[in-house]
Amino acid sequence: MELFVLGIQNVFQPTCLILIFLGTFFGIIFGAIPGLTATMGVALLIPFTFTMSAIEGTALLIGVFIGGISGGLISASLLRMPGTPSSVATTFDAYPMVKNGQAGLALGIGIFSSVFGGIVTSFGLALIAPQVVKIALKFGYFEYFSLGIFALTIVVTLAKGTMIKGLLAACFGLLFSFFGAAPVDMTYRFTFGLNSMKGGFSLLPVLIGLFAISQIMTEILNPSEVLVPKVDTKNILPPLSIFTKDWKNLIRSTLIGFFIGILPGIGSATSNIVAYGQAKQNSNHPEKFGTGYAPGIIASEASNNATTGGALIPLITMGIPGDGVTAIMLGGLMIHGLHPGPLLFQYNPDLVNSIFVSVFLANIFMFIIMIVGIRFLILVLKTPKKYLLPVILILCIVGAFALNNRMFDVWSLFLFGIIGFMLEKLKFPLTPLILGIVLGPIIEINIRQGLMASSGSFLPIFTRPISLVFIILSVLSVILPIYLEKKKKMIFQP
């Protein structure tokens, strides 16, 4: 308790508070612009931390981290363009709600869900970090493989229309994830003799293309002069009943995000889709998801913000980054001569507790900035499309290029924009495609490394308890929705 009080004293200094606020504001801007992600925001600000103390520098980076993940809500809701991969599932219901003229309500639900997930995970980070890490340490290659398979079964829940189209879209996603160098042996696949294809398709240009470019193409064909003719700016503060009625989904999604954040390499790009799928699967009205349904926004935004606290746990306790952002933050800590891991708790307990307090404050600042700025953000929807769409297109191109500084990512952006546009015209769901692209590398690299460790034996998948649990859950996730659907049809048949 004394160390925690010391952490509060360290953070509640004018300079540190200002840095957290500015970092959060800067992160929200980066998260809101498609392609400029929290990862890029943290990377850009690390040089500015050289002259700061370790506590001040870490507080600034945490603010950018929290703001960047939260900022993706803005473009995902208003423009159907996920600012970050963690906001992909937010587009499914937030954008339809905005199109229905309820922009303020969509953003309000997202902001309140985000701050709930972020604050809960900040307490989880402080209270149960060492205990939770003991569980995470038991995850090996086969556990990660089984977790990936379990996450992939969400296709059954998220496939709209026919199941065949959903499965085909997932297979296309897995296929695209295999382009480029294979993990472990670095064998080149599907490069077609092009050097630029050896690196494969980067996730962010793919996501921006599927959502942003395809949406721009759709809006060009739409004769309306603005994106949304009627915009509601009154219902910014959502009624409490929305959250009390859906409290199970709110808590479940927060826990999903927190736990997935703890697992290195998975990240919020997966957690928001997994939480959304679970929300739909456990809902009494699954048919409403994708139509502007509040529980869909709650699931995505609570989970992706909860992932931030979870991702910091392996970083500070084991020195293992939980995702791309924390990998860069690891470098930022080492610049100050700090070595995350068990020794950090022993030799720098004041910094550890300052991190806990900074995460909490960054979420509070995020809430304030977003709530105050909602009315200004909604003005975007009133901008004529002939001015707005070219600006969005330029931002998408800049964001795709800035990721790796290669033109191939820009061409990928347009390629997947055309693919996304065509798939939507053919009534194929995009979500299974995205799920396949995100989970493909996770599944492949872990099964290959697991087979190398087991001398080619698949038995550990079924003999390791945690792996077996995920396999059983995968089977149930596929069978149960199909069984319930058939049972429902039998009941309502005349």
Within its chain, how far is the Cα of 255 from the centroid? Answer: 14
The answer to whether the predicted template modeling score (pTM) of the entire model surpasses 0.75 is no
- Ordered by start, the domain boundaries in the chain are 2-492
Q: Are 85 and 204 in contact (CB under 8 A)?
A: yes
Q: Are 321 and 265 in contact (CB under 8 A)?
A: no
Query: Tokens 């979870």 appear where?
Result: 310
Q: Which residues pair with 181 in a beta bridge?
A: 188
* Burial 120-141, CB ≥16 within 10 A → b, else e: bbbebbbeebeebbeebeebbb
Helix, coil or strand: residue 225: coil
The amino acid occupying position 223 is P
The amino acid occupying position 50 is F
Contacts of 472 by beta carbon, 8 Å cutoff, 6+ apart: none
Q: Which two tokens stand for residue 213?
A: 């470019």
Q: Which residues pair with 188 in a beta bridge?
A: 181
Mean pLDDT for each 10-residue chunk of the chain (494 residues)?
71 90 88 71 78 87 89 84 80 89 87 92 77 67 86 67 77 88 83 84 80 80 68 71 90 90 70 87 86 91 88 74 69 74 72 86 92 76 77 80 82 91 84 79 88 90 90 83 63 45
Our CA angle for 35, 38, 39, nearest 5°, is 90
Around Cβ 234, how many Cβ atoms within 10 Å? 8
The residue among 453, 488, 469, 435 whose CA lies nearest residue 170 is 435
DSSP secondary structure letters along 41-103: HHHHHGGGGTTS-HHHHHHHHHHHHHHHHHHHHHHHHHHS--SSGGGTTHHHHHHHHHHTT-H
The tally of CA atoms less than 13 A away on the side-chain side of residue 22 is: 12
Helix, coil or strand: residue 265: coil
Around Cβ 489, how many Cβ atoms within 10 Å? 9
Q: Give the whole-angstrom CA distance, residue 95 versus residue 76.
A: 7
Q: Give the whole-angstrom CA distance, residue 270 versus residue 224.
A: 35
The residue among 1, 101, 82 whose CA lies nearest residue 35 is 82
Report pLDDT for 492. Answer: 41
Q: Give the whole-angstrom CA distance, residue 412 versus residue 386.
A: 24
Q: What are phi and psi of 89, to 5 degrees?
A: -65, -20
Query: Tokens 């799928």 appear where?
Result: 277
Q: Residue 172 burial by CB count (10 A; 0-12/13-18/19+): exposed, middle or buried? A: middle
The residue among 298, 291, 307 whose CA lies nearest residue 238 is 298
Q: Give the whole-angstrom CA distance, residue 343 versus residue 318.
A: 9
Determine the length of the chain: 494
Report pLDDT for 135. Answer: 67
Q: Give the whole-angstrom CA distance, residue 341 versus residue 120.
A: 23
Contacts of 17 by beta carbon, 8 Å cutoff, 6+ apart: 11, 361
Around Cβ 198, how many Cβ atoms within 10 Å? 14
Report pLDDT for 484. Answer: 63
Q: Are 65 and 308 in contact (CB under 8 A)?
A: yes
Q: What are phi and psi of 188, to 5 degrees?
A: -85, 135
Give the containing element (helix H, strand E) for 189: strand 188-189
Q: Which residues pair with 180 in a beta bridge?
A: 189
What are the angstrom distances between the C-alpha of 451 and each of 124, 271, 448?
A: 34, 26, 5
